[in-house]
Amino acid sequence: MEKKILGIDPGLSVTGYSVLLQKKASIFAVEYNFKKFSSKDDVQTRIGQFYEFILYKIDQHGITHLAIETPFLGKNAQTFLKLGYLRGVIYAIAFQRKLQVFEFSPTQVKQSITGYGGASKEQVAKVLSMLFPNMYAPAKADATDALAIGLCGIWSKEKTL
């Protein structure tokens, strides 16, 4: 079965995304980049723009699965809370479109890609460039992060919806 996954590194300022296609044993990076949201817009507007963007990517590529990174509670609880809004949007879209969501912690993503959960973003990017030799260097790490998240989703085992 063919799997088309949208990997998402959610953010209210910058959201990284990737579209990966698995055909049998081959995996292709169809697209990966980032979407910037204006800090001049209020949170409600940016959440709405995020919603529309994710729906657009799902429809544009015929996405069958979603993969996201679980945020960790850092120093700023407000940032954590706002990322929760975006996760809620993703889960609502998944419910609406009957898509499965795979969720990974940053440590799980690094472990899956490099074999070491404490790997740096640069180490993850280096492994990804070996896996996808025609890959371009994106302007923001959010795109590379989304590619790694999407790859973890490709490697995940199917669960029934």
Catalytic entry in 31, 52, 59, 69: 69
42 is catalytic: no
d(CA 60, CA 71): 27
Residue 41 annotated in active site: no
Q: Which tokens hold the place of 12?
A: 């209210």
Question: Which of 52, 59, 142, 145 is the catalytic position?
Answer: 142
Q: Which two tokens stand for residue 50?
A: 């995020």
β-pairing, 14-23 with 3-9?
antiparallel
Task: For residue 87, give Cα distances in angstroms to 10, 35, 94, 148.
Answer: 8, 16, 10, 18
Residues 78/21, Cβ–Cβ less than 8 Å: no
Q: SS3 for 47-82, per residue?
A: HHHHHHHHHHHHHHHCCCEEEEECCCCCCCHHHHHH
For this structure, is 9 an active site residue? yes
Q: How big, in percent rounded to 5, are the helix, strand and coil portions of the chain?
A: 45, 25, 30
**Which residues form the catalytic set?**
9, 69, 142
